[in-house]
Structure 1
Amino acid sequence: MRPKKIRILFTISNFNTAGSGKVVYDLVSGLDKTQFDIAIACGSDAGAFFKKVATLGVPIHIFETKTPYKPYYTLLYRIWLISKFYKKHNYDIVHSWQWSSDWTEALAARFAGVKWLYTKKAMGFASKHWQIKSKLADFIVTINDEMSAYFPNKKQQALIPLGIDTLYYSPDPFLKPADADSTKFHIITVANLVPVKGIEVLLQAIQLLDDSSITLTILGDCDNAYGQRMIALCAQLDVHHQVKFLGKQLDVRPYIAAADLYVIPTLDEGRKEGMPMALVEAMSMGTPVIGSDITGINFVLKDFRTLLFEAGQPDQLALRINTIKNMPIESRLKLGQDLRTYCQEHFTMDAFISAHDTLYKTLLQDGIVS
């Protein structure tokens, strides 16, 4: 008899606010459809990227697979409804990419007799809800080498760094025109603009450098309160003529390719970084990078320690920027190529998909045979 396909449901809050949506897209796209029957459940169809996900041709359910804890007297009933959804579609595995500490999704899977795992995407494990979620999980996937300390007694875990399509994120289609202005030094950052991202540190570093040849492009939704504060801060620091806020862009590659340097200045507080894919994308594009020395960023750049600076310190960041700016162009190009090669050796999409393929089959004792 032919082996039965493993039925997997990927769950995610939405495809509009976080980089993990692209990772889920790549994973769904790369898994062997002759072995896996895949569906997605998310809470919203908002955002331009959702339309791209829809082109994958897999079922997408606009359905919340988690529920608020309160009111407690109806909690079990609401969890049962989620469990009923799992049973209706006969899933074998639910792989959660939800960002929160919610454990109702995991309990619903227990009620349904479905294997449930989650990918730990960001740092932070303080609440009791994270502990409950992790105890209920059949397996936990971590994405940097410090996360395992959160689960010292859980054997059912593995480090699987996020993967990137290095052919898609390649500088080759975006060669700079011969008449590009070589007197300017272009910096770029790409972020979901929230306070932990530390954009103010980058703006303060630009002010400290006092160099009119330096320009900065910021990609990310700037219509929220933090984004508006950063726009106002540019005026206060008198660097507004050097900084452009271009909002959220579906394809960041042309902007990264046009830059001389990518900076990720995340603060050492709050949720912090798990494995920042915008940083990996810039590296894969062959663009020199600088990042704050915090978990997640220093995992990606562990073999490039000189590209790190102490989080929250604009003076250190300014020194790092100046060092790269003053490099001979040949040295800068070599650094970019070294970063791209590193991605090709450590963060490939093939390795990422292969690791998940093996994990799903192992979780079900090498598959289900009818």
Structure 2
Amino acid sequence: MAGKTKRLRVLFTIPNFDTAGSGKALLKVASRLNPYRFDVQIACIHKRGKFFKMVEDSGFPIHIINYLHPMSNRISGLRHCIKVARQFRKIKPDIIHSYNYSADYSEALAAQLAGCKWVYTKKNMNWGGASANGWKLRTWLANHIAYQNHDMKTEFFPDSTKVSYVPRGVDMEEFSPGQPKASIRDEFSLSGREFVFMCVANLVPVKGIEVLIEAFASLNDKDKDLKLIIVGDDQNDYGQQLQRKVKEEYKLENVVFTGKRSDVKDLLHLCDVFVLPTLNEGRREGSPVALLESMASGCLVLGSAIAGVKDQLKEFPNLLFEAGNSEQLKERMQALFELNEADKEHLKQQLVEYVKAQLLIELEVQRHEALYEKIS
């Protein structure tokens, strides 16, 4: 009688669960891996963070390990890595999968000292500058890298054979087309006749929200019933600057800043066109989940033609615009506004079906499983 196939123990590492974004991404994948094939465990540096309780409730074993350490002092760094390697050996993972965004390579070194396969997900377009050597060492030490868009492969791993394309996926049980709640419609004083543009983003300069505001102001007309809703924490300097621009420079009364919201999936049901105007500088995008969530929710979408966004809209080039070009964005916004209802609904359905075929969370999980099988 043949023996049972050994379950692969996968240890997911993440610095913390202070912010829910990357923590949710990890948990959505970890909780869907085949439990008969994969034994999932999680390691993080501390127990703080509002999302940590949800991770505890998942039932996965959680290890609190200070596994990251600056390597500027080589002797101190190596000592720390040896200490972490001992902790990794006690857990006995077959594969360690790092969800750390930074160029730190101490974790990779500790994993290698422990005799564990080590994988990291490249989630952003950072590479050069002060962090360049860290990324190169991190990549050299890795057994495999999961990259989230094709620009990453071209720019960072052009000749590597130890990489796999693993784009983000969206959970359509959470995000799907639906009618807006009356309470939310009333909150924004919407009668149902308005054409609503929306952006959900971390309000920082690289997100290019001022480009969207400029395009909207140019499109705005008393004969058009338009609304722009901007969702995200607006209490920082950039958020305050945007609000002053709307009120004092453009004198727009149909632009709403909601602040940070926990009911994004309900807000998306108000949206006709979701716009992601990220600039082509700084971190750029890895695989922006906000765009996927809006498509899955039945919104039309527009995105700047940058890394990550280009992958997600590769089959819809007319929904891309040059990053930072408010005039071209205005033209794209106007084109969608002027579509007849039948064409709008057809395009919305095309976007939903595209997500179902290529960008579901289940497909992201399958790609993770294939990666683990490949290197085990």
Matches of 1:221 and 1:62 in 2, distance apart? 30
- 1:167 aligned onto 2:173: yes
Residue deviations 1:242-272, cap 9 Å, x none?
2222233334111111111100000000110
After superposition, residues 178-189 of structure 1 pair within 5 angstroms as 181-189=191-199
Matches of 2:4 and 2:64 in 1, distance apart? 32
Partner of 1:326: 338
Matches of 1:87 and 1:289 in 2, distance apart? 47
CA contact (8 A) 1:23 1:163 kept: no
Instruction: Give the secondary structure class of the aligned counterpart of 1:7.
Output: strand
AA paired with 1:360?
Y
After superposition, residues 54-133 of structure 1 pair within 5 angstroms as 54-126=56-128, 127-133=132-138
Matches of 1:43 and 1:223 in 2, distance apart? 28
- 1:146 aligned onto 2:151: yes
Instruction: Give the secondary structure class of the aligned counterpart of 1:39.
Output: strand
Partner of 2:217: 207
Root-mean-square deviation over aligned CA pairs? 2.2
Match of 1:197 among 181, 199, 207: 207
AA paired with 2:236?
N
Residue deviations 1:304-361, cap 9 Å, x none?
1111111011111111111111212222122111101000111122222122112212
Aligned residues: 363
Distance 1:233 1:88, change over 3 A: farther
Structure 2 length normalisation: TM-score?
Answer: 0.89
Deviation for aligned residue 1:104: 1.1
Partner of 1:368: none
CA contact (8 A) 1:18 1:192 kept: no
Deviation for aligned residue 1:141: 0.9
Distance 1:219 1:61, change over 3 A: farther
CA contact (8 A) 1:140 1:157 kept: yes
AA paired with 2:42?
I
Distance 1:224 1:81, change over 3 A: farther
After superposition, residues 276-355 of structure 1 pair within 5 angstroms as 276-355=288-367
Matches of 1:199 and 1:44 in 2, distance apart? 34
Matches of 2:241 and 2:100 in 1, distance apart? 28
CA contact (8 A) 1:187 1:262 kept: yes
AA paired with 1:103?
Y
- The worse-fitting range, judged by mean Cα deviation, of 301-310 and 189-198 is 189-198
Instruction: Give the secondary structure class of the aligned counterpart of 1:223.
Output: coil
AA paired with 1:185?
F
Q: Give the unaligned 5+ runs of structure 1.
A: 365-370
Matches of 2:248 and 2:106 in 1, distance apart? 45
Match of 2:9 among 7, 12, 26: 7
Deviation for aligned residue 1:156: 1.1
Matches of 1:91 and 1:158 in 2, distance apart? 21
Instruction: Give the secondary structure class of the aligned counterpart of 2:34.
Output: coil
Instruction: Give the secondary structure class of the aligned counterpart of 2:324.
Output: coil
Structure 1 length normalisation: TM-score?
Answer: 0.91
Identity of aligned residues (%): 39
Distance 1:42 1:232, change over 3 A: farther
Q: Give the unaligned 5+ runs of structure 2.
A: none
Deviation for aligned residue 1:95: 0.5
Deviation for aligned residue 1:111: 0.9
CA contact (8 A) 2:198 2:271 kept: yes
Deviation for aligned residue 1:47: 4.7
Distance 1:44 1:337, change over 3 A: farther
Deviation for aligned residue 1:88: 2.0
Matches of 1:64 and 1:311 in 2, distance apart? 39
CA contact (8 A) 2:233 2:239 kept: yes
Distance 1:218 1:55, change over 3 A: farther
